[in-house]
Amino acid sequence: EVQLVESGGGLVQPGGSLRLSCAASGFTFSGYWMSWVRQAPGKGLEWVANTKFDGSEKYYVDSVKGRFTISRDNAKNSLYLQMNSLRGEDTAVYYCATRRGDFWGQGTMVTVSS
Amino acid sequence: DVVVTQSPLALPVTLGQPASISCRSSQSLVSSDGNTYLNWFHQRPGQSPRRLIYQVSNRDSGVPDRFSGSGSDTDFTLRISRVEAEDVGVYHCMQGSHWPWTFGQGTKVEIK
């Protein structure tokens, strides 16, 4: 059974940092491009970042470019999102997903507030 | 960025009746590799999205055949042939042909 389990969310002050993790199991993690997608409370979905199988290519939506970094450790079947210089508009549920959207995690909530 | 526009944003439906949702993009969704990456997702309250349809018209494993997707270029449709109670929730279309990938606003389906 495919599982993606996110962790690391929480409450952080504006300007602060947070690192999200996603533990994958039940599929060949190293064979998939992976992504982070977010959803602000009561709002639609926003695709945040993609990373290639080996991490050699990374893509970001403009709103997070220079502040967020997507990375992966294929030996640990894990995906990460380092979030720096956080803003109120980054408040959202963050989902780990495969690039084509076939598998999703349950999400982890990030709240940026003073 | 490609703008994806869904309509309607709210869709009251009668059990057993058909329903359809439109999704239009601001530019062609034919990718550089020749494929059209237009997906449909269903999301229930408090749950993650679940992909129903990929590349316009391909149903994911376990998705009932009452769901179908069609369209091309910039104009796409999700159809439910006979709505069941479990179909309520928000439907999202999403283009994965041009970075950054973008979603429509979502269509909330509820039973009348």
Q: Is B98 on the interface with A (CB under 8 A)?
A: no
The whole-number pLDDT of residue A73 equals 98
Query: B interface mutation test: which of A47, A52, A59, A60 has the most B CBs within 10 A?
Result: A47
Cβ contact (<8 Å) for A45 and B60? no
The whole-number pLDDT of residue A89 equals 97
d(C-alpha A70, C-alpha B63), whole Å: 31
Q: Is A61 on the interface with B (CB under 8 A)?
A: yes
Average pLDDT over residues A105-113: 98
The whole-number pLDDT of residue B15 equals 97
Average pLDDT over residues B21-28: 98
Phi, psi of B7 (to 5 degrees): -155, 145
Cβ contact (<8 Å) for B102 and A107? no
Q: Is A5 on the interface with B (CB under 8 A)?
A: no
The whole-number pLDDT of residue B31 equals 97
| pLDDT tens digits, one per residue of B72-112 | 999 999 999 999 999 999 999 999 999 999 999 999 999 99
Task: pLDDT band for B37, please (50, 70, 90 cuts).
Answer: very high
Q: Is B15 exposed, middle or buried (0-12, 13-18, 19+ CB in 10 A)?
A: exposed
